[in-house]
């Protein structure tokens, strides 16, 4: 789910040591980028047909979209209540270091996100905003040294990245990558149908899926011709960001982490993306936005705004806090 589209040339957050790709139609290459551990699909062909025929590849695709294929072990579900204010994410005293250098970035973060809430994290470059999001989705470049994180009542830190996907996290990235040879239509329909199988629903055929997808395209002002293009290949920055939100619309995550989704967007694209995010919100879902700019918060109204400084959340308020930041800078809203 969110992290479901991690920096993959199909971003597959999966434990490769547990899989064998000897019979795969793909060539896989383990790589590390600034945003996550990735597997690069170099020579994909006949994606949908091959996935149905090869269980190993089905597991890879399933991890990428945050679900599991038939006959795979289903992730355990946590007990839930009917309260609209159920806690989705609770972070207590979270500290984390860069795994290689042991440099401490997060120095004790506390945060609670409930269903139906929109949270925005703002802060200077280097304050730890993006590192926090990467730690939540299990980026291998960072190591948690102290604190706890629970998601829907379960220990998130005990889960592998793909298990965090399965639990209902989605993360959009600042710089979505391209997937040569895989069309948007194939990729999104595969994601949708795997999700439906996981929910015990029948798969959608091509025509049914197009009917399901059309209103989502319209919501984002995306030309249907995008479905025939390879995922993000040749897309502008704004088109890539729209495509990220289109993936979120298909996957329907419980908690969407949007890392600078507004960067590089003109006003029209920003309005379209914000409209789509607002349209996807329900009383049971939540959003965590990371942004530098108050303008995004004019379109996606936050329940809470948090200011991060030196790896900690130093101040929390409502949307007016972002306006204070806009008017007076970070010194005006520093910890009091």
Tell me what percent of the residues of the chain surpass a pLDDT of 70: 73
**DSSP H helices in 66-183:** 129-137, 161-167
Residue 94 forms part of a structural domain: yes
Element (H, E) at 77: none
> What CATH number did the domain enclosing 315 receive?
3.40.50.300
Element (H, E) at 150: strand 142-151
Residue 220 forms part of a structural domain: no
- Distance of alpha carbon 53 from alpha carbon 60, whole angstroms: 13
Confidence at residue 110, expressed as pLDDT on a 0 to 100 scale? 97
Residue 111 forms part of a structural domain: yes
- Distance of alpha carbon 248 from alpha carbon 1, whole angstroms: 7
Residue 167 forms part of a structural domain: yes
Q: Residue 2: which pLDDT band, with cuts at 50, 70 and 90?
A: very low
Confidence at residue 152, expressed as pLDDT on a 0 to 100 scale? 93
Residue 181 forms part of a structural domain: no
Residue 126 forms part of a structural domain: yes
Residue 239 forms part of a structural domain: yes
Strand partners, 119: 288, 304
Considering only residues 77 and 63, tell me which one the structure prediction assigns the higher pLDDT.
Answer: 63
Contacts of 96 (CB under 8 A, 6+ apart): 104, 105, 106, 131, 135, 142, 143, 144, 145
pTM above 0.75, yes or no: no
Confidence at residue 199, expressed as pLDDT on a 0 to 100 scale? 67
Residue 4 forms part of a structural domain: no
For the chain, the domain total comes to 1
Lowest mean pLDDT among 16-20, 86-90, 102-106, 176-180: 16-20
Contacts of 154 (CB under 8 A, 6+ apart): 76, 78, 167
Tell me what percent of the residues of the chain surpass a pLDDT of 90: 40
Q: Which domain holds residue 126?
A: 87-173+235-333
């Amino acid at each position: 789910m969110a992290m479901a589209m991690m920096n993959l040339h199909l971003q597959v957050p999966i434990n490769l040591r547990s899989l064998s790709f000897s019979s795969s139609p793909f060539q896989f290459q383990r790589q590390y980028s600034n945003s996550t551990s990735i597997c690069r699909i170099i020579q994909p062909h006949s994606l949908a047909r091959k996935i149905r025929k090869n269980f190993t590849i089905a597991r890879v695709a399933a991890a990428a979209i945050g679900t599991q294929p038939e006959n795979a072990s289903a992730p355990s579900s946590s007990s839930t209540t009917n309260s609209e204010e159920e806690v989705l994410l609770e972070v207590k005293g979270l500290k984390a270091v860069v795994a290689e250098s042991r440099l401490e970035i997060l120095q004790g973060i506390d945060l609670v996100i409930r269903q139906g809430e929109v949270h925005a994290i703002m802060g200077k470059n280097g304050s730890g905003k993006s590192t926090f999001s990467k730690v939540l989705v299990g980026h291998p470049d960072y190591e948690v040294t102290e604190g706890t994180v629970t998601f829907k009542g379960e220990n998130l830190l005990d889960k592998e990245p793909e298990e965090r996907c399965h639990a209902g996290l989605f993360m959009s990235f600042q710089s979505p990558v391209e997937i040569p040879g895989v069309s948007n239509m194939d990729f999104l329909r595969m994601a949708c149908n795997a999700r439906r199988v996981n929910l015990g629903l029948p798969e959608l055929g091509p025509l049914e899926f197009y009917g399901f997808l059309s209103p989502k395209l319209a919501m984002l002002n995306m030309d249907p011709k995008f479905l025939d293009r390879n995922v993000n290949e040749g897309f502008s920055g704004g088109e890539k960001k729209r495509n990220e939100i289109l993936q979120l619309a298909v996957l329907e995550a419980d908690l969407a982490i949007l890392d600078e989704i507004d960067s590089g967007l003109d006003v029209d694209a920003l309005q379209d993306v914000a409209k789509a995010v607002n349209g996807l919100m329900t009383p049971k879902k939540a959003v965590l936005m990371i942004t530098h700019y108050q303008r995004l918060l004019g379109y996606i109204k936050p329940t809470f705004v948090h200011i991060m400084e030196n790896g900690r959340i130093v101040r929390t308020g409502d949307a007016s806090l972002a306006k204070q930041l806009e008017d007076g800078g970070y010194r005006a809203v520093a910890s009091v």
